[in-house]
Copies of this chain bind each other. A is one copy, B any other.
Amino acid sequence: MAKAKRTLKWQRDPEGMRLRILQAAKQEFAAHGIAGARVDRIAAEAGANKRMLYYHVGNKEDLYLAVLEGAYEKIRAEERTLDLEHLDPPEAIERLIEFTWNYFIRNPEFLALLNTENLARARHLKRSTKVKSMHSPFVEMIRTVVRRGVESGDFRVAMDPVQLYISIASLGFFYLSNSATLSVIFGRDLLKKPAKDERLAHMVALVLAALTGKSTASFGKAPKPLRSPAHPVA
């Protein structure tokens, strides 16, 4: 599939170019929003000419939509790699929270893009059949995990999986997405390592406590071991 590169001034490689453009566009849209993004900057960053954007992707809005769809594709793909089926329910929930949290940390542009799209009232997303067809596997995963947890007696209550999914996303998303203003308000850097660790522990403790009814480990200040077993494992 890939061509052997001879001595060519520019490889005949429209896909590579396209990808570099989309990558640059993702950064630009995440950093400045739709209106604030500059097509020239995207081109420059991609090492391309502005005309190439229009040649390879389309106009600014097409570009944005392509970026957005790519972002959803990426998270959905990673979500599918996480199988919680074989874990005992509390462990599964903890894993889920950790994954979500870490994904947000590793992909800050994703948070920014979602905010941008919501500022636009999901105008673009609504037109994307592609994204609409990409269902998150998490809702069903949660549904079965919760059911199993209730049956096993680990969980006391059967939470609605959609609500739980949104809540788990909320707890991490808000903290990270709004860390800039929150850090100013509270007068401390919420993005430094110990603060983030503390936050993760709190989220896990909060959700598991609600589900299991058993008081779990640290809800806030306590220092934690390396990979905190925030709930009684055995």
Interface membership of chain A positions 188-210, coded 1 if the CB is closer than 8 angstroms to chain B and 0 otherwise = 00000000001100110111011
Known: A36-B36, A115-B119, A184-B125. A166 touches B177 (CB 8 A): no
A2-10, A27-35, A88-96: which one contacts chain B? A27-35
B residues within 8 A CB of A209?
A: 157, 209-210, 213
Interface membership of chain A positions 61-81, coded 1 if the CB is closer than 8 angstroms to chain B and 0 otherwise = 000000000000000000000
Known: A126-B184, A210-B206, A219-B158. A116 touches B118 (CB 8 A): no
Q: Which of B125, B184, B221 contacts A181 (CB 8 A)?
A: B125
A12-20, A40-48, A168-176, A223-231: which one contacts chain B? A168-176
B residues within 8 A CB of A179?
A: 118
Quick one: closest B residue to A38, CB to CB? B35
A167 touches B119 (CB 8 A): no
| Copies of this chain held together in the complex | 2
How many chain A residues have a CB neighbour from B under 8 Å? 63
B residues within 8 A CB of A121?
A: 180
Quick one: closest B residue to A166, CB to CB? B175
B residues within 8 A CB of A219?
A: 157-160, 163
Write the nearest CB–CB distance from A61 to chain B, whole angstroms.
Answer: 13
Most-contacted residue by chain B among A32, A125, A198, A206 (CB, 10 A): A206
The DSSP consensus for interface residues of chain A is: helix
A156 in the interface (beta carbon within 8 A): yes
18 further A-B contacts with Cβ under 8 Å, apart from A166-B175, A167-B203, A173-B178, are A33-B33, A34-B36, A118-B178, A122-B183, A125-B184, A131-B184, A135-B185, A159-B206, A159-B219, A159-B220, A160-B221, A167-B171, A170-B171, A170-B173, A170-B175, A171-B171, A206-B210, A209-B213
The residues of A with any CB-CB pair to B shorter than 8 Å are 31-36, 112, 114-122, 125-126, 131-132, 135-136, 156-160, 162-163, 166-167, 169-171, 173-175, 177-187, 198-199, 202-203, 205-207, 209-210, 213-215, 219-221
Across the A-B interface, the 8 shortest Cβ-Cβ residue pairs:
A160-B220, A35-B36, A170-B174, A122-B180, A209-B210, A35-B35, A159-B219, A163-B202
